[in-house]
Amino acid sequence: MKPYQTIAIRECGEPLVSVPEEVFSLELPHPYAKLGAPYDDRSPFFLRRGIFDRLQAAQKALQQQRPGWRIRIFDAYRPLAVQQFMVNYTFAEVVRSKQLSPEALTPQQRRDILDEVYRFWALPSLDRATPPPHSTGAAVDVTLVDECDREIDMGSPIDELSERSYPNHFADATTAAERQFHENRQILAEAMTSAEFAQHPNEWWHFSYGDQLWAWLTQRSTAIYGRGDEIAEIT
C-alpha cells in the first residue's frame, strides 16, 4: 500500500464526461488502445466533470503565457481492466529490456521488476478503498503542443521508467537543451497547479484533483473521487 491509499474517500457522485477534441489536443490514436488495452466501446477520453472544468481553466492560464498553445491529453479515465493490462504490459517490457526469460524469473527478480513497475504504475486494486488514481476519472496525463499542434519537448516521453520522468530531473541542468526541458515542464506545471491540480512526485505528466493522491499531497483528510466505474451516470 502506498501512503496516499490510507486517505478516506467521500465520493461526491460527479459523472464522467467525454473530452471533446475541439477543446483539447488528444493523443490519437490512444496509446493504450493501440496496444490492445481492453476499453469498452466508449472513448478512453473521459474525465470527471469537475476535472474537465479545471483542465479548461488550466489551458486558459497556459494561453495567457503562451498564446496558441494547448494542453494535449495523453490519457484520462482508465478502467481497472486497462490498468491491469498496462501493468502486465510494462512488466513484460521491463523483462524484455533486461533480456530475461519470463518463465525463468526468480522470485527476487520478479519482486525487483514489480518494484520498478510500481514506482510509476499504480496497483490495479479491486478494493474500493484503494482505487488507482486514473480509475477515479480524477487523474490525467498531459503534455503541451504549440500553435501548430507540434508537441513541446519535455526531455523524456510519457511513461518512461527512469529518473528522467521526475518533474525536476533537469532543474540543475547545464546544457541549453536540458534547461529548456525544465522550463517546458515548469510551464505545464504552473498552468495545471493554477487550476489546483497536484503533480505526481515521480511523473512530470501526471496531475490530479480530488483523488487520494491529491488529498495526500495537499494534506486533505479526504478524497472526493472514488472508482469511476461505480458512477451510474456517464455522459
235 found inside a domain: no
Q: What is the CA radius of gyration of the chain?
A: 18
165 found inside a domain: yes
171 found inside a domain: yes
Residues catalogued as catalytic: 203
The dihedral over CA atoms of 51, 56, 62, 63, expressed in degrees to the nearest 10, equals: 170
pLDDT at residue 232 in the model: 55
- Domain of 153, CATH number, reads 3.30.1380.10
62 found inside a domain: yes
pLDDT at residue 205 in the model: 98
Pick the residue with more confidence: 105 or 233?
Answer: 105
pLDDT at residue 234 in the model: 53
87 found inside a domain: yes
> Number of structural domains, the chain?
1
pLDDT tens, residue by residue, 99-126: 999 999 999 999 999 999 999 999 999 9
43 confidence band (pLDDT: 50, 70, 90) = confident
pLDDT tens, residue by residue, 206-230: 999 999 999 999 999 999 999 998 7
**How many Å separate Cα 76 from the centre of its chain?**
7
16 found inside a domain: yes
Domain of 177 in residue numbering reads as: 3-230
Please tell me whether residue 206 adopts helix, strand or coil conformation.
strand
Mean pLDDT of 198-211: 97
Residue 1 class from Cβ within 10 Å (0-12 exposed, 13-18 middle, 19+ buried)?
exposed
Residue 138 class from Cβ within 10 Å (0-12 exposed, 13-18 middle, 19+ buried)?
buried
Mean pLDDT of 126-153: 96
CB atoms closer than 10 angstroms to residue 4: 17
Phi, psi of 136 (to 5 degrees): -90, -15
CB-CB contact of 114 with 185 (8 Å): no
64 found inside a domain: yes
218 found inside a domain: yes
